[in-house]
Amino acid sequence: MEESMSAQMRLRLLPSARCLFDEPIQVKVAGLRSKQLVTLRARSTDEKGVLFNSSASYRADGRGEIDLNRDPSLSGSYVGVDPMGLLRSLKADDLHKYFYKNKALEPFIVNFSLHEEEGRMLAEATNERHLMGDGVRRVPVKEGNVQGVLFTPPGEGPFPAVLDLCTFMSEKRASLLANKGFVVLALPVFIGKPNLERMNLDDFEEALQFLQSQPKVSSKGVGVISRSKGGDIALSLAAFVPGVEAVVWINGCSANIGIPLYYKERQILSPLMFNFGKVIPTESGANIIKYAVNNPLAEENKGSVVPIEQADGHFLFVASEDDLNWDSKGYLDDMVGRLKHHGKNNFENITYPAAGHLLEPPYGPHCPSALHGMLRFPVVWGGEPRAHAAAELHLWQKIQDFLRTRLTSSAAQTTSKL
């Protein structure tokens, strides 16, 4: 009897073990004893070779089955019903590790395994989570001052175009947006070591022009999506450079952070600086830097505030209230107030009460703290893990709807909704 039991043991990933990075899967187990207690484990290795793990204990129903869409985890990395909880809670053994999955050609590989209480493995299955859908083209770009990666959807187009400003190079969000019918140029704000002397808005304008010149791009203006330091660059493009039709600003600043910004050989914005005396250390060894950023509303910092009231395009402002990197919610409120004061209503805004700084495409591992790219010490990003994951899922759809609405002519809009 024991033999036939194990032969029927199944760990299934539905609808398929292969999917896109931003698609959910259903994890189901069959062939267990009635009410048997087991542990499900997930593990994955990131691009830097760091191993991440998660686990959760489940009790089978009377028929010896478990369905993660229905059944609660009793203990482990999370408790309660959380169908994609094993992915969200993947964690490295060392503290302050961000899961690097930034190259679009390699899928995010997650190994799921089922174990008896004593630890013996009963079954396993591998989930291949792809960043690029069928027919999407990936072309590295090195032209003039433009250094990034261009993603183009299959088909004739014309497609809406989006500049994805990542603080440091990542192809993840750009490739996933290309799957949805956008031509996307992933462009890092910093290549290699950040130059803190000056930043040229002209380089980003050049990237916009490169995008607009692509054969499959529709004639309507370009969209920009950004987070963190990319946010103030996106605002500056909207304020100073023509043709920016839509800006998605995620947990950015309302002022130009850290580095003087130049355009056409003259400084247009002074830098808003940090006061390192206001950094708060935590027991984990990561620092809270939220209160270390100087106040953009103070008189002496007025020259760093981006004059978004000059912009013709539309804004989607997104702020996490548990962002511990800086006061994203405060910056959002300031910008909304300023636009209203100028009689403008060219914006939408969303706030997520319990989410943290790093809002990304859904179903990646939650990162509570990691090394800060500019400051070179570990910082706390914030976010209650489950609420943060829910915010990522909600926002991902919102971003697509906003960009599609703002970058498509009305005729094309009706067809894309079918």
* Pair 379, 289: CB distance under 8 Å: yes
* Pair 22, 363: CB distance under 8 Å: yes
In terms of Cβ atoms closer than 10 Å to its own Cβ (0-12, 13-18, 19+), residue 398 is: middle
Structure tokens at 333: 């409120």
| Owner of token pair 């609420």 | 387
Pairwise CA distance, residues 318 & 253, whole Å: 11
Strands of 10-14's sheet, edge to edge?
10-14, 26-30, 66-67
Contacts of 62 (CB under 8 A, 6+ apart): 34, 35
Pairwise CA distance, residues 303 & 296, whole Å: 9
Structure tokens at 225: 């999506």
314-320/347-352 β-pairing: parallel
* Alpha-carbon distances, residue 27 vs 169, 211, 308 (angstroms): 32, 40, 46
323 has catalytic annotation = yes
* Pair 304, 296: CB distance under 8 Å: yes
| Cβ neighbours around 61 below 10 Å, total | 15
Pairwise CA distance, residues 207 & 226, whole Å: 14
228 has catalytic annotation = yes
Which 8-state DSSP code applies to residue 301? G
Which of 130, 323, 366, 372 is catalytic? The answer is: 323
Pairwise CA distance, residues 270 & 302, whole Å: 9
The residues with which 318 forms a beta bridge, in sequence order, are 250, 350
Pairwise CA distance, residues 235 & 286, whole Å: 29
Phi, psi (degrees; rounded to nearest 5) at 382 = 90, 175
Which of 228, 236, 320, 328 is catalytic? The answer is: 228
Q: Which amino acid is at 332?
A: L
Which of 96, 130, 314, 357 is catalytic? The answer is: 357
* Pair 204, 261: CB distance under 8 Å: no
Which 8-state DSSP code applies to residue 342? T
Which residue numbers are catalytic?
A: 228, 323, 357
